[in-house]
Amino acid sequence: MNILDSITRDKIKEVELRKKLIPKKQLEQSVLFQRETISLADKLRQSTSGIIAEHKRRSPSKSVINSSLNVFDVAIGYQNAGVCGMSVLTDGKYFGGSLDDLLTSRASCRLPLLRKEFIIDEYQILEAKAFGADVILLIAAILTKDDIKALSEFSKSLNLEVLLEVHNEDELDKSIMPSLDMLGVNNRNLKTFDVSLETSKTLSALIPDEFIKVSESGISNVDAIKTLRTYGYQGFLIGENFMKTEDPGTNAKAFINKLDN
């Protein structure tokens, strides 16, 4: 069993437990459930940098990245840096995140927030809405085509945007549908953890122009972004490169300044 299978297996159990603890109606009565969402897709279209900065404490591939930072400070730092949006890991067991991280980020910044999670159930999308997200992530590797359609359409009914993540051509083929806003190519193979920007380059020509193209993982320098832009990418999700420093916001700002020069 690879790590993706393990995460998905554990997530099924976790979601069933959470459903018993917090009913759907309680989520729908959240103060944040009625807030007007912010469009990450629009921000990316208008941006000169396209940076989506991530808050991530650890990962299965890198163990601890940074466990000492306060998510409130990270969110403010990212906003001051001028990023387009913020990705917040909410998986606890494998990434050290929580829904409270999403809630704290929402309280501290006005950025579009992406709930980065292994979503397998509509319940998690209700959680995303109730805790202040603007965008949800769907991972093609763990979902069927029917799953992607149902979950993305449910998200749109809640005015949440959808970033669909793929790793190869087969996943992309089953995923293209009008209920998506952005198509992300993860340069990290979630089964082996190998990283290659060639994945983004290869798949770019297969992604229809109506979708915002987002490249994820393994982006550690300005030259990588300049190269990926020539392949039509407008969004670049960067987490580890900023989070491994003592001040992610300051490093994000320096990165963006270098990119714009």
Residues designated catalytic: 54, 56, 116, 165, 186, 216-217
Distance CA 132, CA 33 (A): 7
Angle between helices 248-260 and 222-229 (to 10 degrees): 50
Q: What is the DSSP letter of 142?
A: G
Residue 208 corresponds to which tokens in the numbers above?
Answer: 């229809």
In contact, 235 and 182? CB cutoff 8 Å = yes
Q: With H, G, I as helix, E, B as strand and everything else as coil, classify residue 259.
A: helix
C-alpha pair distances (Å), 120 with each of 13, 88, 138, 139, 149:
11, 17, 8, 9, 12
Distance CA 187, CA 165 (A): 10
Strands 85-89 and 63-64: unpaired
Helix/strand/coil percentages in the chain, nearest 5:
45, 15, 35
Residue 145 corresponds to which tokens in the numbers above?
Answer: 């085509």
Long-range contact set of residues 169-172: C-beta below 8 Å, sequence gap at least 24? 169/202, 169/203, 169/206, 171/140, 171/141, 172/140, 172/203, 172/206, 172/207
